[in-house]
């Protein structure tokens, strides 16, 4: 009778723990870790109790009370693979047919806030970690499985804190928080410029607007000037073909108080996303030039632009060993190799890369259910994700 291969053994191990997988995810969903306020300490025991029961060493870190991060370690030495999942979730919002914090299992799916984003991937990684712990002697390096705080609000109390203040280090990272159904590997993320534009004019009575200087009309003129403008992407720019074109969104605009007062101040906030290639300083220079032209055409009005956040684009080479390992094992497990993509949104992969840690995004779960009512994930997809990730870690760290 033929012997089982290691691949068969991982598959059988995961299949035998489907009930555990569902229980881990259900326990995580019941932990109300809505951010704000976060309260990640409610979910942390799901991971720490799991580690204690299996002899997996871990540490907890809190920059603020109750904002708990857990770092579990399997194996020893270098290189290290970091897999950061996050405990926190967005508010439930309206439109749910069931209690968003009481998981419902039906027809192979689990419904609840955080089922896909990001408690499902964490539950799957716990199953993968149990297999890897049992085969720790096969690891010539270390896996860091992290349950993070504060991902939904910028990671100041989570992954950024762990990297900047807690000594967490790695040579590579796989972030289970991008894509869907294990079809894509996020190898690049657009740059993001968040900008505040302000116009200062002069208030007057609404019946005599000529005595004032409205701050609103110049803002409208400026927004019209840039409405169809987008920064040019040089031909042959790095990552060409992976990204959609640059985008510009006017997220907010505020002016005035009541109808019978000429508004003396107007403020708009912009979100500009761009792939590798455009120079952010050239983008800002162009916008300031347009702003100056509008201000010159409106007597009595001053206009300025403030950079609220400037996150450069990031890109990991598609030939990176992590990408190759994920593609190889998704093909073996699902029949289809995951494809490299560039995305417009941002994950913790961006600031991992900016700290010198190559990072890619890779995730199970259905498309488009994050942050909506009725969020769900499928247990079969989570099981396959656990299987793929166990194989990827063994591939990259195998002795």
Percent of the chain that is helix, strand, coil (3-state, to 5): 35, 25, 40
Query: Of 151, 152, 290, 375, which one is the catalytic site residue?
Result: 151
d(CA 128, CA 109): 20
The torsion of the CA quartet 286, 287, 288, 289, rounded to 10 degrees, works out to 50
Between CA 342 and CA 179 the distance in angstroms is: 10
| Bridge partners of residue 59, in order along the sequence | 71
Alpha-carbon span 330 to 184, nearest angstrom: 10
**How many whole angstroms separate alpha carbon 179 and alpha carbon 191?**
18
The radius of gyration of the chain's CA atoms, rounded to the nearest angstrom, is: 24
Structure tokens at 30: 């019941």
User: CA 250, CA 253: separation in Å to the nearest integer?
Assistant: 8
- From the list 39, 88, 189, 370, the catalytic residue is 88
Pairing of strands 172-175, 314-315: unpaired
- The DSSP secondary-structure symbol of 72 reads E
* CA pair distance 194, 307, nearest whole angstrom: 6
Quick check: is 151 catalytic? yes
Tokens representing 221 are 């003129």
265 close to 255: Cβ distance less than 8 angstroms: yes
Strand ranges in the chain using DSSP code E only, listed in sequence order: 58-62, 68-75, 80-86, 104-106, 109-111, 142-148, 172-175, 184-189, 191-200, 204-205, 247-255, 261-262, 265-274, 302-311, 314-315, 339-343, 359-361, 376-378
Q: Collapsing DSSP states into helix, strand and coil, what is residue 375? A: coil
Pairing of β 376-378 and β 109-111: antiparallel
* 139 close to 399: Cβ distance less than 8 angstroms: yes
Distance CA 138, CA 215 (A): 66
Exposure of 390 in the CB half-sphere (CA atoms within 13 A): 30
Give the residue numbers marked as catalytic.
88, 151
């Amino acid at each position: 009778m033929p012997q089982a291969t290691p691949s068969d053994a991982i598959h059988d191990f995961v299949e035998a723990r489907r009930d555990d997988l569902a229980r881990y995810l259900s326990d995580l969903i019941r932990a109300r870790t809505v951010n704000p306020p976060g309260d990640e300490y409610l979910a942390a025991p799901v991971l720490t109790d799991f580690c204690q029961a299996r002899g997996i060493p871990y540490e907890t870190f809190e920059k603020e009370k109750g904002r708990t991060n857990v770092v579990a370690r399997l194996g020893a030495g270098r290189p290290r693979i970091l897999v950061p999942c996050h405990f926190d979730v967005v508010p439930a919002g309206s439109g749910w047919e069931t209690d968003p914090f009481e998981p419902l299992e039906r027809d192979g799916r689990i419904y609840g806030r955080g089922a896909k984003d990001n408690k499902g991937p964490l539950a799957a990684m716990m199953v993968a970690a149990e297999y890897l712990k049992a085969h720790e002697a096969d690891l010539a390096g270390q896996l860091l499985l992290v349950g993070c705080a504060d991902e939904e609000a910028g990671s100041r109390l989570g992954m950024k804190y762990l990297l900047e203040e807690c000594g967490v280090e790695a040579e590579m990272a796989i972030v289970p928080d991008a894509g869907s159904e294990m079809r894509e590997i996020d190898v690049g993320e657009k740059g993001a410029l968040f900008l505040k534009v302000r116009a200062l004019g002069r208030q007057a009575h609404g019946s005599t607007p000529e005595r004032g200087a409205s701050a609103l009309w110049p803002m409208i003129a400026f927004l019209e000037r840039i409405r169809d403008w987008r920064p040019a992407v040089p031909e042959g720019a790095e990552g060409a073909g992976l990204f959609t074109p640059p985008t510009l969104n006017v997220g907010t605009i505020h002016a005035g108080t009541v109808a019978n007062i000429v508004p003396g101040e107007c403020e708009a906030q912009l979100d500009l996303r761009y792939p590798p290639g455009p120079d952010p300083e050239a983008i800002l220079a162009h916008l300031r030039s347009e702003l100056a032209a509008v201000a010159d055409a409106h007597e009595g009005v001053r206009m300025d632009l403030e950079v609220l956040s400037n996150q450069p684009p990031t890109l990991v080479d598609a030939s990176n060993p992590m990408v190759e390992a994920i593609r190889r094992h998704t093909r073996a497990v699902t029949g289809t190799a995951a494809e490299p993509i560039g995305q417009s949104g941002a994950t913790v992969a961006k600031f991992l890369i900016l700290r010198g840690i190559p990072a890619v995004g890779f995730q199970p779960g259905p498309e488009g259910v994050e942050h909506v009512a009725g969020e769900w994930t499928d247990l079969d997809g989570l099981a396959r994700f656990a299987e793929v990730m166990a194989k990827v870690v063994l591939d990259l760290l195998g002795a």
